[in-house]
Structure 1
Amino acid sequence: MAEIVVNRYATALFEIAKEQGAMTKFKEEASAICELLKGEPEYMNLLGHPSVVEAQKLELIEEAFSGRVSDEFVGLMGLIIKKSRTGYLIDILTQFINMAKEDAGLMQAHVTSAMPLTNQQIAQIKANLEQGTGKTIELTQAVDASLIGGMIIRVGDKVVDGSIKGQMDALKSELSHLRLA
């Protein structure tokens, strides 16, 4: 259900940005709002708190954002408050940002490795992904020592697990389904 809600609002915002030819502006504003909201969890709690009446929440949005961001964003946030979906606001903005990046030919990729990668390794992975996808890759990295060795690469909805832990889990699964005669 949450994914459907997030996609609907993000898609609507994406369509408005496309119609107005303001994709870059909207993406920048969405990024700024998203960062601001992530940095102010008390503000988000206030917007989502059931004891704060809707009119007060709408007033908070108007005071904080009116004149600073596009009216479409103020309207979107007001609609989200009226529909009691404040908890989805950051996810909606993040989804919109990703849609705008993809529209511009950018693609998100995430590499998780057992040890920190060198700049040369990151550049090689990025180059390989760009060659394979035909898009410009925006690469993020994380370290997870539980992988033992190797790495996991996520590009869009595809995952390539080349970690030792992943191989051991696959082997364990195979062995558990093996029937001895």
Structure 2
Amino acid sequence: MAEIVVNRYATALFEIAKEKGAMTKFKEEASAICEVLKNEPEYMNLLGHPSVIEAQKLELIEQAFTGRVSDEFVGLMGLIIKKSRTEYLIRILTQFIEMAKEDEGLIKATVTSAMPLTNQQLAQIKENLEQGTGKTIELDAQIDASLIGGLIVRVGDKVVDGSIKGQMDALKSQLNSLRLA
């Protein structure tokens, strides 16, 4: 249910940005709003708190964002408050940002390794992914010592597991499924 709600609002915002030809502006504003909301958890708690009446929440949104971001964002946040979906606000904005980046030809990818990769290795991975997808890659590097060795690369919803741990898990699964004759 949550994914449906997040996707519906993010898609609506994306369509509005597309219609107005303001995708870059909307993406920047969504990023700024996300930063504010993430850095001010008390503010988010106040917006979601059941004892704070809706009118006060709407006034808080108006005071904080009117004149600083597009009216569409103020309206969206007001609608989210009226529909009691405040807990989805950051996820909605984050999904919109990802949709806007993808529309610009930018895809987020994550490479996870057992040890830190050099800048040269990261640049090579990024170049290979860009050649393979035909899009610009925003690469995020993470470290997970439990992988033992190798890499896990995530591009959008696709995952390539070339880690030793992944290979060992696959082998374990195969061995567990063997039946002795």
Normalised by the shorter chain, which TM-score bucket? over 0.9
Aligned to 1:91: 91
Aligned to 1:61: 61
Aligned to 1:144: 144
Q: Distance in 2 between matches of 1:36 and 1:153?
A: 30
Q: Distance in 1 between matches of 2:146 and 2:50?
A: 41
- Residue 54 (structure 1) shift: 0.6
Alignment of 1:38-77 (within 5 A): 38-77=38-77
Q: Distance in 1 between matches of 2:45 and 2:141?
A: 30
Q: Report the 3-state secondary structure (helix = DSSP H, G, I; strand = E; otherwise coil) of the residue aligned with 1:76.
A: helix
Q: Distance in 1 between matches of 2:69 and 2:120?
A: 39
Q: Distance in 2 between matches of 1:37 and 1:136?
A: 28
Q: Distance in 1 between matches of 2:48 and 2:143?
A: 34
- Residue 151 (structure 1) shift: 1.0
Q: Distance in 2 between matches of 1:56 and 1:151?
A: 49
- Residue 45 (structure 1) shift: 0.8
What is the aligned length? 181
Q: Report the 3-state secondary structure (helix = DSSP H, G, I; strand = E; otherwise coil) of the residue aligned with 1:13.
A: helix
**Percent identity of paired positions between Structure 1 and Structure 2:** 87
Aligned to 1:131: 131
Aligned to 1:179: 179
Aligned to 1:22: 22
**Structure 2: any 5+ residue segments left out of the alignment?**
none
Q: Normalising by the residue count of structure 1, what TM-score does the alignment of the two structures yield?
A: 0.99
Give CA-to-partner distance per residue, 1:85-122, whole Å, 9 cap, x none.
Answer: 00000000000000000000101101111001000000
Alignment of 1:104-115 (within 5 A): 104-115=104-115
Aligned to 1:78: 78
Q: Distance in 1 between matches of 2:113 and 2:49?
A: 39
Q: Which amino acid aligns with 2:6?
A: V
Q: Distance in 2 between matches of 1:144 and 1:43?
A: 33
Q: Distance in 2 between matches of 1:90 and 1:71?
A: 18
Q: Distance in 2 between matches of 1:26 and 1:113?
A: 34
Q: Distance in 1 between matches of 2:136 and 2:22?
A: 21
- Residue 76 (structure 1) shift: 0.2
Q: Report the 3-state secondary structure (helix = DSSP H, G, I; strand = E; otherwise coil) of the residue aligned with 1:117.
A: coil
Q: Which amino acid aligns with 1:114?
A: A
Q: Distance in 1 between matches of 2:48 and 2:78?
A: 12
Q: Distance in 2 between matches of 1:162 and 1:42?
A: 41
